[in-house]
């Protein structure tokens, strides 16, 4: 099961940055790989979102359950349905001396073991690059 972890530090305060990270529906406005994010269902601190993305020119789509822990500036997500067997992780925001660190993790798994052994190293690299570009896009959105 490949695991991807990345982070970036953004200038600003956590109360202003967290709502931007939390507003996933706006991601297509400033993230090139994210084509569409639609909230299917909203219930308290949880949403069901449908994602349409493009990784290396190929469509990659799924539905995830997002849980928002506003008091901790943390968001967890878990695959409900989509192109992978497993796709989950979290966004964590932490105040530091240099700004706010946005930390993103992704834990994923292909459903077919034979394919997984071939594709996991490539997929891990692609997902890591995509996570890095998402964080960079958020930083540019906030810092200008």
In the chain, where the domains are located: 3-143
Model confidence band, residue 20 (pLDDT cutoffs 50, 70, 90)? very high
E strand intervals along 20-57 = 34-43, 46-55
CATH topology of domain 3-143: Alpha-D-Glucose-1,6-Bisphosphate; Chain A, domain 4 (3.30.530)
| Structural tokens at position 46 | 């949880």
Reference 108, options 142, 60, 143, 43; nearest CA is: 60
pLDDT at 115: 65
Within 10 angstroms of residue 68's Cβ, the number of other Cβ atoms is 18
Residue 56 has pLDDT above 70, yes or no: yes
Judging by beta carbons within 10 Å of its beta carbon (0-12, 13-18, 19+), is residue 66 exposed, middle or buried? buried
Report the chain's mean pLDDT, rounded to a whole number.
91
Within 10 angstroms of residue 34's Cβ, the number of other Cβ atoms is 20
pTM equals: 0.89
For the segment 102-126, what is each residue's pLDDT rounded down to a tens digit?
A: 999 999 887 766 666 777 777 788 8
Compute the distance between CA of residue 79 and CA of residue 32 in angstroms, rounded to an integer: 22
């Amino acid at each position: 099961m490949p695991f991807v972890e990345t982070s970036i530090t953004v200038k600003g305060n956590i109360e202003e940055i967290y709502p931007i990270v939390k507003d996933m529906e706006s991601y297509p406005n400033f993230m090139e790989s994210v084509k569409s994010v639609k909230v299917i269902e909203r219930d308290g601190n949880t949403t069901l979102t449908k994602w349409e993305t493009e990784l290396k020119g190929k469509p990659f789509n799924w539905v995830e359950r997002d849980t928002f822990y506003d008091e901790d500036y943390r968001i967890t997500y878990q695959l409900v349905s989509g192109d992978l067997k497993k796709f989950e992780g979290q966004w964590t925001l932490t105040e530091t001396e240099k700004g706010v660190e946005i930390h993103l993790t992704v834990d994923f798994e292909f459903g077919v073991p034979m394919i997984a052994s071939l594709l996991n190293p490539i997929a891990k690299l692609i997902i890591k690059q995509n996570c890095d570009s998402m964080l960079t896009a958020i930083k540019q959105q906030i810092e200008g």
